[in-house]
Each structure stands twice: as C-alpha cells, then as structure tokens.
Amino acid sequence: MTAFPKPADLIPHRAPFLLLDEITALEPGEKIQATWRLTGEEDFFAGHFPGRPTLPGVLMVESLAQAGACSVLSVPEFADKLPLFGGADKIKFRRQVVPGETLTLTVEMLSLRGRAGKGIGKAHVGTELACQAEILFILVDS
C-alpha cells in the first residue's frame, strides 16, 4: 500500500478550513483523489439549514480546489508556492450532501503552465456525482 502525504503537509489550510481528510491517490501535477468525511459536527451545518443540514455547495467547490492544490504543490518546483483560486467554471450540483456522508474528490489537471493552471474536479458520494467544476488557479510566491 502506498503512503500519500497528508493534505496539511502540502497546502497551508488548517482547521476549520482544511476540507480534506486524506489523500488516497496522487500523480503529482496530474491527478489526485482525496476524501472529506462530514461528521455533522462542522459549524456550518448548524445554520445551513436548521433541521435539514446540507453541505453548502461553495464548500464542495472549495474542497475540490484544495484537492487540486495538493496535486500541484506535490510537484517539487511548485512546493514553495501559494495556490490562489482564480475562478470556477461550469459548476454543476447534482445532489445534496448531508452529515455522515463522505465526499470522494477527484481532480484531473487540464493544464499547468508557468504560474497558472486549470483542472476538472468531481465530488462523489459513493457512486453518485454531487458536484463538478472546472477550477482555475494561479501560483504566487508564499
């Protein structure tokens, strides 16, 4: 079994805004698979929505961006950079995500040139697609 780095070893995010629990597959700068387990204890569930907790879609997109950042920052030449969100296109939400579910996040890089890149991310719960988006980013000195 291959050991992969922990998300916190690659990206600067920390609780409560580190939205990845584990990297389960990694091809540096090309592809990544990670998980985010939603326990129901996350603060945002209390207000989104009371009595019917639902993961905010924008946090699904952010979790995809964090996974993509892990892939990019695992490339030695980019390891000391700070990835910034440049935008998101073609976002589609397909199902609600609720406490107790685990998101499997996959990001495949479409381009990575100089200090910018683009990837396509998908978030699944089991075999069901919850969200997909094209993620745009730039890399700056940290």
CATH architecture of 25-141: Roll (3.10)
- Name the residue ranges covered by the structural domains of the chain: 25-141
For the cut 90, the answer to whether the pLDDT of residue 17 exceeds it is yes
Identify the H or E element spanning 45: helix 44-47
What angle (nearest 5°) sits at the alpha carbon of residue 26, between those of residues 64 and 122? Answer: 30
For the cut 80, the answer to whether the pLDDT of residue 10 exceeds it is yes
For residue 113, what pLDDT is reported?
87
CA distance 69 to 97: 22
The question of whether 48 is a catalytic residue gets the answer yes
For the cut 90, the answer to whether the pLDDT of residue 63 exceeds it is yes
Write down the catalytic residue from 13, 48, 115, 118: 48
User: Tell me: the pLDDT tens digits for 76-113?
Assistant: 999 999 999 999 999 999 999 999 999 999 999 999 98
User: Tell me: the pLDDT tens digits for 24-39?
Assistant: 999 999 999 999 999 9
For the cut 70, the answer to whether the pLDDT of residue 1 exceeds it is no
Tokens of 45: 């569930």
User: Tell me: the pLDDT tens digits for 111-140?
Assistant: 998 889 999 999 999 999 999 999 999 999
